[in-house]
């Protein structure tokens, strides 16, 4: 496959340019795919969502999207994938609830790279099982974008469902492979995807798994998910959504002493991280108004179970990485 962006390709900055790109891709995809079936791992991230929407426009139900809920997604994400793709776009969507399976595999595993490997390998296994259940698939669609090809993008390669066994190899369909992230968003918008999907901040492939530090437990995973939801809600309400490059919470695997209603507590802290960056290689800490941090702390300590303390990470990259694991 040709891997160089054509030199005369105009940067897609407007809805009109996006519509022209979509029309051309729809034609090309129909020519490539014919009446065959295409498989896609749909995470709900920007790239796979835009690929799905594009393929639905081109070949409708010939696209089979598989959404694997590994239990490490943010609050509301699996529901949004089902709502947008199955209910609104009438897609052929296979929803796989693999939560228990992933959490069982991850039980007692504290080492970050081991956790990543288990999540990646288990994902391939689940996807492979689903692929084997389907008949007549000839193509595999992927949300590869140009920075993935240039290998200089901020997001580490997570699009590739590479690793499938030899007897399960498909012809690749990668309609976004010459697009930069901002162009993917313009195309997604033109395809009618909701803003929350098109403009969302980067989210690592292993999801909340690398933000529930050390060996994942269900109570701390819930604390990460609920505190992250509060942080995102408050950032959106206070005009910081789209202004701060990446923001999230992490929950370490130690407790500290606190007090609540005159009763001594022993519970987990929540760490807030909010950074700005251009390429994720270096990052600065986003200046968040102190009153807002106080308000978020108040909400998290009141609303999130098993939490009695909130910390704000003041470390730029270097010396800290953006994620904690």
Q: Which residues bind ligand XMP (CB under 6 A)?
A: 116, 154-156, 158, 202, 204-206, 246, 280, 317, 321-323
Query: By C-beta, is 76 or 153 nearer to ligand XMP?
Result: 153
Nearest distance from C-beta of residue 144 to ligand XMP, angstroms: 13
Nearest distance from C-beta of residue 240 to ligand XMP, angstroms: 17
Nearest distance from C-beta of residue 225 to ligand XMP, angstroms: 16
The two tokens of residue 277 are 């960056």
- CA-to-CA distance for 172 and 257, rounded, in angstroms? 53
The two tokens of residue 35 are 């009446």
Query: By C-beta, is 33 or 275 nearer to ligand XMP?
Result: 275
Query: By C-beta, is 170 or 248 nearer to ligand XMP?
Result: 248
Nearest distance from C-beta of residue 221 to ligand XMP, angstroms: 17
Nearest distance from C-beta of residue 79 to ligand XMP, angstroms: 22
- Under 8 Å between Cβ of 120 and 205: yes
Query: By C-beta, is 76 or 320 nearer to ligand XMP?
Result: 320
Q: At what angle do helices 181-190 and 15-33 cross, to 10 degrees?
A: 90
Instruction: Name beta bridge partners: 274.
Output: 247
Q: Tell me the residue ranges of DSSP E strands in the chain.
A: 37-41, 63-69, 92-97, 137-141, 171-173, 246-250, 256-260, 263-276, 284-285, 307-312
Nearest distance from C-beta of residue 155 to ligand XMP, angstroms: 5
Query: By C-beta, is 157 or 305 nearer to ligand XMP?
Result: 157
CA 105 to chain centre: 21
- Under 8 Å between Cβ of 196 and 80: yes
Pairing of strands 171-173, 256-260: unpaired
Query: By C-beta, is 233 or 323 nearer to ligand XMP?
Result: 323
CA 273 to chain centre: 17
């Amino acid at each position: 496959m040709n891997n160089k962006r054509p030199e005369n390709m105009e940067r897609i900055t407007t809805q009109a340019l996006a519509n022209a790109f979509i029309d051309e891709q729809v034609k090309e995809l129909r020519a490539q795919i014919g009446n065959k079936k295409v498989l896609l791992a749909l995470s709900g991230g920007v790239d796979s969502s835009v690929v799905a929407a594009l393929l639905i426009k081109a070949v409708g139900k010939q696209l089979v999207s598989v959404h694997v809920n590994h239990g490490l997604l943010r609050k509301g994400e699996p529901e949004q994938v089902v709502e947008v793709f199955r209910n609104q776009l009438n897609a052929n969507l296979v929803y796989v609830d693999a939560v228990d399976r992933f959490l069982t595999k991850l039980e007692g595993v504290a080492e970050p790279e081991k956790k990543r490997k288990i999540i990646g390998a288990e994902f391939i296994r689940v996807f492979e099982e689903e692929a084997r259940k389907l008949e007549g698939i000839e193509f595999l669609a992927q949300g590869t974008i140009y920075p993935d090809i240039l290998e200089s993008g901020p997001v580490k390669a997570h699009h590739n469902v590479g690793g499938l066994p030899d007897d399960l190899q498909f012809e690749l369909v990668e309609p976004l492979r010459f697009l930069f992230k901002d162009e993917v968003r313009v195309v997604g918008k033109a395809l009618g995807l909701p803003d929350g999907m098109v403009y969302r901040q980067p989210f690592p492939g292993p999801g909340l798994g690398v933000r529930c530090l050390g060996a994942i437990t269900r109570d701390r995973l819930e604390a990460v998910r609920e505190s992250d939801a509060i942080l995102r809600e408050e950032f959106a309400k206070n005009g910081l959504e789209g202004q701060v490059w990446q923001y999230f919470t992490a929950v370490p695997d130690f407790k500290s002493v606190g007090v609540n209603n005159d009763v001594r507590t022993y519970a987990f802290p929540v760490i807030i991280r909010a950074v700005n960056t251009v390429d994720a290689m270096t990052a600065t800490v986003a200046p968040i108004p102190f009153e807002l941090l106080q308000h978020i702390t108040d909400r998290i300590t009141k609303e999130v179970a098993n939490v009695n303390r909130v910390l704000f990470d003041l470390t730029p990259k270097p010396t800290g990485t953006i994620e904690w694991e």
